[in-house]
Amino acid sequence: MTEGRGGRAAARSVEAVFREDRSRLRALLAARFGDLDLAEETASDAIEAALARWPVDGVPDKPLAWLLTTARRKAIDRIRRDRAYAERLAMLQVEADRADPPTDAEPGFDDIPDERLQLFFTCCHPALSLEAQTALTLRFLAGLTTPEVARAFLVPTATMGQRIVRAKRKIRTARIPFRVPGPEELPTRLPGVLRVVYLVFTEGYAASSGADLLRPDLAEEAIRLARILHRLLPREREVTGLLALLLLTDARRAARVDADGNQVLLEDQDRSLWDTELIAEGQQLVVPALSGPAVGPYAVQAAVAALHDEAPDVASTDWPQIVALYDVLLRIDPSPLVALNRAVAVAMRDGPEAGLALLDRLTDAQELRGYHLLPAARGDLLRRLGRRSEAAAAYRAALDLVGNDSERAALVRRLAELTDR
């Protein structure tokens, strides 16, 4: 093999390993040294070393082990050279117990621990703002670059860079530990982690602003993160419920926009485009997520999504069961948004008049002010009742609030249909 071809093969090997295990490598280093910056820098150093050595020596049998060993040694070298790390060196006693990291040939290295769960709880620590939690999770667990995270938040790269720096500084100064909460803490800490993953998915499934309705990159990263959590916490039913919800919802992605990128509403979607493999996987997960006492909100939402996915069309959907599930959701996780979704389901079960009466009770809800789907839903029900002028006014109100261009175009089309008639 020529040097050029060997270099390209090595580069592909490094890329493949790092794509699959980059968050795991960073998590292992962060857990070992207690510093996100050091973990990121030494992981990059190890990658550079692999690009230099693997074309010459060949790709090792255990690439991740090689990268981890190299990164650990480079971290030790950085700590020894940098006075800024002197206090941290003493605190972590790195010299004492980790001066000679194991090589990939040493026993026990076949089973490299997966420390990503620790990193999840560190990035989503309640001492950090939700904005910071989401940014750190995308950066260090999803593996997005700072410019990619900035695009997800629709802010300049420099702004996001400063935000991530401040969040990492907060972790250092507040001495937020790199650890998994104990059994007594887990019930209060896990919902925060799940919320961040769900927020990433919802932004990918229905972008809050921009030209495109879908951000498949974010939706897929959220599903990947949910799969990691499910693998690490297989007995946590809400983790199972979240993964089921994401799969069952993402299964409809291909039918949610037409060839021109225009939004297609649920009632108009070509259900033959829905991903049957994702639906089957999600349906299998719903059962354990709902089994046992104290069912969680993600499991209930997954059950709603499963009912939508198994119906051949909107008319034959089991709306009474969906309303009953929203009743459960209102009891365990009440919010105006849940009430809005329940009102729409009631309209499908009992008629638009019944749903409209429920929606009208939500017009003063603080959480729904500025939320375009409330007036949009009112417009749809008013249109079905033949109250065209009121429906047009509701659609115009929704247009004043919507941020996504694809959703805006859909509202314009509905408004135009009323005007044309």
Q: What is the pLDDT of residue 318?
A: 97
Q: What is the pLDDT of residue 298?
A: 97
Q: What's the mean pLDDT in 103-124?
A: 67
Q: What's the mean pLDDT in 268-296?
A: 95
Closest CA to 217 of 205, 233, 229, 232: 205
The CATH number that domain 119-176+187-205 falls under is 1.10.10
Q: What is the pLDDT of residue 112?
A: 66
Contacts of 397 (CB under 8 A, 6+ apart): 375
Q: Which residues pair with 404 in a beta bridge?
A: 210
* Confidence band of 99 (pLDDT split at 50, 70, 90): very low
* Confidence band of 78 (pLDDT split at 50, 70, 90): confident
In contact, 257 and 270? CB cutoff 8 Å = no
In contact, 172 and 187? CB cutoff 8 Å = no
Q: What is the pLDDT of residue 98?
A: 40
Q: What's the mean pLDDT in 134-148?
A: 87
Burial (Cβ within 10 Å: 0-12, 13-18, ≥19) of residue 181: middle
Is 60 exceeded by the pLDDT of residue 107? no
| Coil, helix or strand at residue 210 | strand
Q: What mean pLDDT value characterizes the chain?
A: 86
Is 90 exceeded by the pLDDT of residue 325? yes
Contacts of 227 (CB under 8 A, 6+ apart): 243
Is 60 exceeded by the pLDDT of residue 94? no
The 3 state secondary structure assigned to 116-181 is HHHHHHHHCCCCCCHHHHHHHHHHHHCCCCHHHHHHHHCCCHHHHHHHHHHHHHHHHHCCCCCCCC
* Confidence band of 101 (pLDDT split at 50, 70, 90): very low
Owner of token pair 């729904």: 368
Residue with the bigger pLDDT between 81 and 138: it is 138
Owner of token pair 């790269």: 157
Contacts of 147 (CB under 8 A, 6+ apart): 157, 160
Token pair belonging to 277: 């493999």
In contact, 121 and 181? CB cutoff 8 Å = yes
pLDDT-above-70 percentage for the chain: 87
Which residues in 247-261 are b (16+ Cβ under 10 Å) and which e?
Answer: bbbbbbbebbbeeee
Neighbour count for residue 106 (Cβ, 10 Å): 11
From residue 406, how far is each of 228, 264, 417 by CA, in Å? 32, 10, 17
End-to-end C-alpha distance for the chain, whole angstroms:
71
Parts of the chain belonging to CATH 1.10.10: 119-176+187-205
Residue with the bigger pLDDT between 198 and 51: it is 198
Per-residue pLDDT tens over the stretch 377-420: 999 999 999 999 999 999 999 999 998 888 999 999 999 988 76
Neighbour count for residue 54 (Cβ, 10 Å): 20
Q: How far apart are CA 268 and CA 153, in angstroms?
A: 30
Is 50 exceeded by the pLDDT of residue 103? no
Contacts of 405 (CB under 8 A, 6+ apart): 210, 211, 212
Parts of the chain belonging to CATH 1.10.1740: 3-98
Q: How far apart are CA 66 and CA 70, in angstroms?
A: 6
Per-residue pLDDT tens over the stretch 4-56: 565 666 666 666 666 667 788 888 888 888 889 888 899 888 888 888 888 88
Is 70 exceeded by the pLDDT of residue 3? no
CATH (one of 1.10.10, 1.10.357, 3.40.50, 1.10.1740) for 3-98: 1.10.1740
Q: What is the pLDDT of residue 271?
A: 96
Q: How far apart are CA 115 and CA 106, in angstroms?
A: 20
Per-residue pLDDT tens over the stretch 329-355: 999 999 999 999 999 999 999 999 999
Is 60 exceeded by the pLDDT of residue 317? yes
Per-residue pLDDT tens over the stretch 144-177: 888 888 877 778 899 999 999 999 999 988 888 8
Q: How far apart are CA 325 and CA 297, in angstroms?
A: 10
Token pair belonging to 109: 């290295």
pTM of the model: 0.83
Token pair belonging to 17: 């390993």
Q: What is the pLDDT of residue 201?
A: 92
Is 80 exceeded by the pLDDT of residue 86? no
Neighbour count for residue 144 (Cβ, 10 Å): 20
Q: Which residues pair with 329 in a beta bridge?
A: none
Q: What's the mean pLDDT in 175-199?
A: 90
Q: What's the mean pLDDT in 238-261?
A: 95
In contact, 215 and 410? CB cutoff 8 Å = no
Helix (H) or strand (E) holding 27: helix 3-33
pLDDT-above-90 percentage for the chain: 52
Closest CA to 302 of 249, 231, 232: 249
Q: What is the pLDDT of residue 96?
A: 36
In contact, 88 and 82? CB cutoff 8 Å = no
Count Cα neighbours of 256 within 13 Å in the Cβ-side half-sphere: 17
In contact, 114 and 24? CB cutoff 8 Å = yes
Token pair belonging to 111: 């089973």
Residue with the bigger pLDDT between 2 and 192: it is 192
Is 60 exceeded by the pLDDT of residue 254? yes
